[in-house]
Chains A and B, each alone.
Chain A
Amino acid sequence: MRAQDADRLFYYLCGGLALGLILLVIGIGLTLLWGSLPSIKAFGFKFLWGKVWDPVNEEFGALPFIVGTLITSFLALIITFPFAISSGIFLAEYAPPRIAGPLSALIELLAGIPSVIYGLWALFYLVPVVRWFEMRLGAPPFGLGLPTASLVLAIMILPYAASITREVLKMVPQELKEAAYGLGATRWEVIRGVCLPYASSGIVAGLVLSLGRALGETMAVTMVIGNRSEMPTSFWDLANTMASVIANEFTEASKDIHLAALIEVGLLLFVITLLVNILARMVIIRLKVK
Chain B
Amino acid sequence: MNRLLYRKLKDRLAFFLILVLALCPTLPLFHILLGVVKQGISSISLEFFIHLPKPPGEEGGGVGNAIVGTLMLALSASLLAVPIGILCGVYLSEYAKGRFGEAVRIAADVLQGTPSIVFGIIAYLWVVKPMGHFSAFSGSVALAIMMLPVIVRSTEEILRMIPETLREASLALGVNYWRTVLKVIIPTGLVGITTGILLSLARIMGETAPLLFTAFGNPFWNFNPMQPVEALPLVVFKYAISPYEEWIRQAWGASLVLTGLVLVLNLSARLLARRMGGHGR
A interface residues with partner B (beta carbon < 8 Å): 3-4, 6-7, 9-11, 13-15, 17-22, 24-25, 28, 31-32, 35, 80, 82-87, 89-91, 94, 105, 107-110, 112-121, 123-125, 155, 158-159, 162, 186-189, 191-192, 209, 212, 215-219, 223, 243, 246-247, 250-251, 262-263, 266, 269-270, 273-274, 276-277, 281
Chain B's closest residue to A13 (CB) is: B87
Asked if A159 and B35 make an inter-chain contact with CB atoms under 8 angstroms apart, the answer reads no
Contacts of B240 in A (CB 8 A): 116, 119-120, 123, 223
A216-B22 contact given A11-B95, A109-B266, A223-B240, CB 8 Å threshold: no
B136 is an interface residue with CB less than 8 A from chain A: no
B56 is an interface residue with CB less than 8 A from chain A: no
Asked if A7 and B117 make an inter-chain contact with CB atoms under 8 angstroms apart, the answer reads no
Asked if B107 and A188 make an inter-chain contact with CB atoms under 8 angstroms apart, the answer reads no
Shortest Cβ distance from residue A14 to the other chain B in the assembled complex, whole angstroms: 4
9 closest A-B pairs by beta carbon, nearest first, are: A216-B115, A114-B206, A86-B21, A10-B178, A90-B22, A14-B91, A277-B113, A186-B11, A188-B14
Chain B's closest residue to A114 (CB) is: B206
Give the complex CA separation of A109 and B260 in angstroms.
Answer: 11
Contacts of B137 in A (CB 8 A): none
Asked if B236 and A24 make an inter-chain contact with CB atoms under 8 angstroms apart, the answer reads no
Chain A's closest residue to B270 (CB) is: A105
Interface of B is mostly: helix
Chain B's closest residue to A253 (CB) is: B213
B28-76 at interface with A (beta carbon < 8 Å): 28-33, 35-36, 39
Contacts of A85 in B (CB 8 A): 21
Chain A's closest residue to B17 (CB) is: A86
Asked if B270 and A116 make an inter-chain contact with CB atoms under 8 angstroms apart, the answer reads no
Shortest Cβ distance from residue A159 to the other chain B in the assembled complex, whole angstroms: 7
B90 is an interface residue with CB less than 8 A from chain A: yes
A114-B258 contact given A21-B88, A28-B122, CB 8 Å threshold: yes
Give the complex CA separation of A167 and B110 in angstroms.
Answer: 21
Asked if A266 and B117 make an inter-chain contact with CB atoms under 8 angstroms apart, the answer reads yes
